[in-house]
């Protein structure tokens, strides 16, 4: 059984390789005992903090007591004696603060719980434990949700706060998880960046100072990602303990970690309390976003692959959850705003001859938009620019053998637009202040149903007007001017979260009503690449930076949590439009293979030799598609350690270990360089293998412990693929 409850009110969650345990003490407080490698069925409460009298404490009628500040409580509350990081801060109707949750009841549900209006992992194979706590003084209930997926060592958590009093309460902080790790020295891996350089890996020591990963941009953002790994100081790809903590949410978030005065490391995660204040009316509830946790005592690779499988099978939904994605060409870097129907059809015609399956028309097809200064919000076709109707263009593209996709930016509005002229109040704007333009656009108030309905109706009309099979959903700026004309002054602190709920509601309607359309998320590139968006759209544009060498670090960092098939990756022209670097076309293709693979260029301007190479790449990508998209993923050589190797390398291995594909990219050129041995992972140590069909055979254990010699190419930024098969 995944969930075990004994008569002493000890709650044990077991996955294939991990155990998570809690218990209720004699005062009714829910304490955390243990989270780590799987252990036998036993009481682990001895491992949790013991009562201590040298700080603020709570006492019961029997005269016994404990210090909130010295214990590991599953729900940490601000204002009642725990001075460390907390998950909950609230104000009661009478102005008093704090809460003292004590045990009330529990229930076990078959299948995985869902959260109203928000994304979450799902699956009948999961189990749910709900532990309900009640405040000692008020009729406020805290429903602690735990979802267990045994196969992938995934445990999810969420908190539902229910107000059964006769008055409103206010939440100043409502995080989803508190996790205490006893003793030890831990590091945190987080993934920082900016536009064009998202999810770069940084590893820092968790000390007695607070480490914070967060966003207040209204989106999960380019600058930080709502996913971290807390690990032993010596943990590596293959060894050591590692805890993954990923928030299934796309708005303002915070993940904090600190080592307290008793050498316990505490981690909290959830909605960022900055700018957050939420009113919960009588008989209403507030649901926090889900946190997805994976523990591995076999290092980062095991943790990553468990996330990858769970995301593919229990987070992504719809037709394209496991179906093969089409190879696409996007016209953006090929034409920007300068195109017409004839130009697009010419691109599609050449692309179809090379094996491309989907043509995507990016920004500039609507309103009177010939640059980024107008027309957002006017989702009607510029028939003059397209030389006729959208349906006519799509039919011309389809006649070349390609599907058709289209770009939207539904959350934003241009001042120069028909929608703004009719409804200037639809944007987020603070009264009596000049609103802030970013990329010449404002953000729509997605908290309002009438705004969402307007955008939905416009999008539906476009999507129903032609044979459209793909939508790229973009969001090119962040939230400022946080004020909604639809909310009273005392509820303006709800805007950030209500905004995200509104976006989710719109996405749910569209993806449900157009189940055969492949939706791809984009936010100025990788500015909203998170678990929440993958619930609605199974792939995301990884970065606006299409340079293959910069992509090594971007895709390397992204791979710690997110699977290959979620990463939008395209071949673009050289010199690269972002950094002017020149890389071999073969290298650009190899890097893009380990994503969704597509093209981002004007194919009509390519030479015959380049077109032949693209045709070869598409055929090769399709040949390796299942192995790349569904195999176990291993990071072999890091782009962050140039002193160890001149290569970056990664590998995918089939589930039955019968084949593997290794990609190497030389990101540094050196004279008189010595050949290098590359160790691989994930093979059957007792079986014999060949590399690229050669006559020479290698024992699996030899390839994993000694490696094989890489072939040297006297070429800047050279790349090779090594296909390893059973002999």
CATH code, domain with 696: 2.60.40.1180
On whether residue 260 sits in a domain, the answer given is yes
Q: How many Å apart are CA 664 and CA 394, to the nearest integer?
A: 39
User: In this structure, are 90 and 187 located in the same domain?
Assistant: yes
Q: Are residues 388 and 467 in the same domain?
A: yes
> In 10 A of CB 335, how many CB atoms?
18
User: φ and ψ at 198, to 5 degrees?
Assistant: -85, 155
The answer to whether residue 688 sits within a structural domain is: yes
- Alpha-carbon span 43 to 45, nearest angstrom: 6
Give pLDDT, residue 64: 54
Residues 96 and 191 in one domain: yes
pTM over 0.85: yes
- Specify whether the CB–CB gap between 151 and 122 falls below 8 A: no
Strand order through the sheet with 18-24: 3-5, 10-14, 18-24, 30-37
Question: Average pLDDT per run of 10 along the chain, which is 727 residues long?
Answer: 91 98 94 95 82 52 63 92 94 94 97 97 96 97 98 98 98 98 94 98 97 98 98 97 98 97 94 98 98 98 98 97 96 98 98 98 98 98 98 98 98 98 97 93 98 98 98 97 96 98 98 98 98 98 98 98 98 97 98 98 98 98 98 97 91 98 88 83 98 97 98 91 98
Catalytic residue among 277, 418, 610, 684: 610
Three-state secondary structure call for residue 608: helix
Task: Say if residue 414 is in the same domain as residue 467.
Answer: yes
Instruction: Confirm whether 530 is a catalytic residue.
Output: yes
Q: How far apart are CA 387 and CA 9, in angstroms?
A: 71
pLDDT at 51: 52
- 110 in a domain, yes or no? yes
Q: Residue written as tokens 């990609």? A: 663
Give me 283's structure tokens. Answer: 């008989």
- CA atoms 235, 237, 242, 246: torsion sign: positive
Domain's final residue, options 263, 285, 314: 314
Query: What pLDDT is recorded for position 63?
Result: 46
At 589 the three-state DSSP class reads helix
> Which of 253, 280, 314 represents a domain boundary (last residue)?
314
Tell me whether the omega of the peptide bond preceding residue 414 falls within 30 degrees of 0, making it cis: no
* Torsion sign, CA atoms 139, 105, 315, 241: positive
Per DSSP, the residues of 386-418 read TTS-HHHHHHHHHHTT-EEEEEE-TTEE-SBSH
* Residue 544 sits in the same domain as residue 647: no
Alpha helices by DSSP H, 14-93: none
Same domain, 709 and 680: yes
Inter-axis angle of helices 341-354 and 608-630, to 10 degrees?
70
Choose one of 575, 605, 629: the last residue of a domain: 629
The whole-number pLDDT of residue 529 equals 98
**24 with 69, same domain?**
yes
Residue 378 among the catalytic residues: no
648 falls within a domain: yes
CATH of the domain at 356: 3.20.20.70
Instruction: For residue 154, give its domain range.
Output: 3-47+58-314
586 domain-assigned = yes
* Residue 363 CB burial class (10 angstroms; 0-12, 13-18, ≥19): buried
Domain identity same for 214 and 336: no
pLDDT tens-digit series, residues 83-133: 999 999 999 999 999 999 999 999 999 999 999 999 999 999 999 999 999
Asked if 46 contacts 11 with a C-beta cutoff of 8 angstroms, the reply is no
The reply to whether 548 and 418 lie within a common domain is yes
The verdict on residue 488 lying in a domain is: no
275-291: per-residue pLDDT in tens? 999 999 999 999 999 99
Please report, for the domain that includes residue 104, its CATH number.
2.70.98.60
- Strand 688-691 relative to strand 659-666: parallel, antiparallel, unpaired? unpaired
Position 500 in a domain: no
Q: Are 75 and 199 contained in the same domain?
A: yes
421 by Cβ neighbours in 10 Å (0-12 / 13-18 / 19+) ranks as exposed
Q: Which of 74, 530, 632, 676 is catalytic?
A: 530
Q: Are residues 395 and 469 in the same domain?
A: yes
Residue 430 lies in a domain: no
Q: Are residues 597 and 674 in the same domain?
A: no
Domain tally, the chain: 3
């Amino acid at each position: 059984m995944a969930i075990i409850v004994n008569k002493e009110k000890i709650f044990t969650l077991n996955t294939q390789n991990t155990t998570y345990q809690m218990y209720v003490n004699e005062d009714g407080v829910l304490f955390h005992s243990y989270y780590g490698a799987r252990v036998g069925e036993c009481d682990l409460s001895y491992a949790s903090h013991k009562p201590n009298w040298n700080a603020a404490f709570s006492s019961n009628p029997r005269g016994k007591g404990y210090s909130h500040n010295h214990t590991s409580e599953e729900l940490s509350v601000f204002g009642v004696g725990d001075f460390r990081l907390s998950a909950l801060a609230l104000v009661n109707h009478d102005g008093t603060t704090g809460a003292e949750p004590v045990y009330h009841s529990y229930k076990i549900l078959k299948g995985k719980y869902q959260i109203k209006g928000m994304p979450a992992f799902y699956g009948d194979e999961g189990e749910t434990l709900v532990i309900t706590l009640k405040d000692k003084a008020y009729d406020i209930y805290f429903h602690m949700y735990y979802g267990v997926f045994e196969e992938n060592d995934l445990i999810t958590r969420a908190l539902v706060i229910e107000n059964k009093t006769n008055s409103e309460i206010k939440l100043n902080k409502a995080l989803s998880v508190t996790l205490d790790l006893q003793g030890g020295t831990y590091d945190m891996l987080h993934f920082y960046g900016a536009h064009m350089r998202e999810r770069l890996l940084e590893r820092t020591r968790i000390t007695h100072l607070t480490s914070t990963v967060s966003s207040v941009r209204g989106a999960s953002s380019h600058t930080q990602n709502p996913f971290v790994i807390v690990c032993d100081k010596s943990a590596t790809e293959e060894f050591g303990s590692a805890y993954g903590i990923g928030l299934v949410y796309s708005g303002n978030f915070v993940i904090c970690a600190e080592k307290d005065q008793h050498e316990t490391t505490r981690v909290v995660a959830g909605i960022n309390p900055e700018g957050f204040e939420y009113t919960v009316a009588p008989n209403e509830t507030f649901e926090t976003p889900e946190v997805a946790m994976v523990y591995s005592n076999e290092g980062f690779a095991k943790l990553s692959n468990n996330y990858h499988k769970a995301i593919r099978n229990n987070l992504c939904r719809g037709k394209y959850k496991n179906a093969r994605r089409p190879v696409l060409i996007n016209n953006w870097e090929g034409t920007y705003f300068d195109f017409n129907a004839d130009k697009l059809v010419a691109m599609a015609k050449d692309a179809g001859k090379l094996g491309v399956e989907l043509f995507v028309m990016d920004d500039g097809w609507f309103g009177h938009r010939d640059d980024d200064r107008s027309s957002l919000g006017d989702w009607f076709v510029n028939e003059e620019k397209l030389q006729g109707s959208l349906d006519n263009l799509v039919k011309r593209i389809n006649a070349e053998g390609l599907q058709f996709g289209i770009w939207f930016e539904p959350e934003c509005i241009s001042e120069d637009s028909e929608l703004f002229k009719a409804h200037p109040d639809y944007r987020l704007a603070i009264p009596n202040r000049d609103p802030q333009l970013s990329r010449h656009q404002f953000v729509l108030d997605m908290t309002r149903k009438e705004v969402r309905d307007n955008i939905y109706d416009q999008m539906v009309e476009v999507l129903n007007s032609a044979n459209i099979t793909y939508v790229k959903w973009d969001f090119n700026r962040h939230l400022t001017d946080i004020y909604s004309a639809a909310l009273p002054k005392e509820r303006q602190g709800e805007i950030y979260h209500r905004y995200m709920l509104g976006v989710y509601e719109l996405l749910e309607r569209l993806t449900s009503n157009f189940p055969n359309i492949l939706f791809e998320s984009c936010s100025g590139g990788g500015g909203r690449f998170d678990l929440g968006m993958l619930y609605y759209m199974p792939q995301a544009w990884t970065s606006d930076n299409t340079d293959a060498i910069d992509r090594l670090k971007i895709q390397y960092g992204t791979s710690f949590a997110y699977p290959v098939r979620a990463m939008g990756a395209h071949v673009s022209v050289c010199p690269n439009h972002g950094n002017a670097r020149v890389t071999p076309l073969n290298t650009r293709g190899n890097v893009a293979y380990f994503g969704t693979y597509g093209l981002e260029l004007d194919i009509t301007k390519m030479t015959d030799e380049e077109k032949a190479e693209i045709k070869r790449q598409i055929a090769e990508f399709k040949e390796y598609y299942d192995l790349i998209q569904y195999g176990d993923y291993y990071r072999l050589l890091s782009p962050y350690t140039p002193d160890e190797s001149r290569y970056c390398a990664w590998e995918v291995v089939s589930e039955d270990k019968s084949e593997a594909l290794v990609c190497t990219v030389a990101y540094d050129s050196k004279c008189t360089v010595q050949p290098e041995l590359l160790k691989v992972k994930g093979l059957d140590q007792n079986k014999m293998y060949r590399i690229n069909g050669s006559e020479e055979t290698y024992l699996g254990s030899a390839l994993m412990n000694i490696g094989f010699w890489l072939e040297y190419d006297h070429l800047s930024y050279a790349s090779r693929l090594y296909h390893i098969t059973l002999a």
